Amino acid sequence: MNIRKSAPQDIEAIMEIYAYARASMKESGNPNQWFNNHPPKSLITADIEGGNSYVCTNENGIIAVFYFNIVPELTYNNISGQWLNNEPYGVIHRIARGSAGKGAGAFAINWCLAQHPNIRIDTHKDNAPMLKLLQSLDFTYCGIIWLENGDERMAFQKLSSF
């Protein structure tokens, strides 16, 4: 597997991965996290244009997608709980894999940890596969944050060394 920045020509493959992820979420008991065709194509286009969208590829093409940036996340300023530290951090959002992407989530998160030793991520309480992945990668549960629309998310952080 490899990681590279997403390009405009990747948008259709990326949107197919998100469609697969939404269907998988519904099947695994999480119908409320990415309902109503979230994330929208306009957001993914903005992620690509901003240079913060990445794809995981293998010999067959794009198998996963995620947002990564080293910038403060406004929704992380208000937490019911406590972050592990207040140092600069990388943030991962909108991570999803396609049907051929088994193992790509861990690969992508570990790639992010290699880019920055302080990573924060959040997920829906019903996203059992992501919760299991974060636990397997030794992320620490830090508390609850609220998205701009008021929805709650479970917040996690991991510190590592290069």
Give the total number of structural domains in the chain.
1
Over the stretch 46-58, which tens digit does the pLDDT of each residue have? 999 999 999 999 9
CA distances for 140 relative to 45, 108, 157, angstroms: 31, 18, 5
Residue 11 neighbours by CB under 8 Å, 6+ apart: 41, 44, 45, 48
Q: Can you give the CATH number for the domain in which 148 is found? A: 3.40.630.30
Over the stretch 74-118, which tens digit does the pLDDT of each residue have? 999 999 999 999 999 999 999 999 988 789 999 999 999 999 999
pLDDT value at residue 100: 83
Which of helix, strand or coil describes residue 122? Answer: strand
pLDDT value at residue 123: 95
Q: Which residue has the tokens 């995620």?
A: 66
pLDDT value at residue 160: 86
Which domain, by its residues, includes 143? Answer: 2-159
Q: Which residue has the tokens 């924060």?
A: 120
Over the stretch 3-55, which tens digit does the pLDDT of each residue have? 999 999 999 999 999 999 888 878 887 767 776 778 999 999 999 999 999 99
pLDDT value at residue 62: 96
Q: Is the pLDDT assigned to residue 162 strictly greater than 60?
A: no
Q: How far apart are CA 129 and CA 127, in angstroms?
A: 6
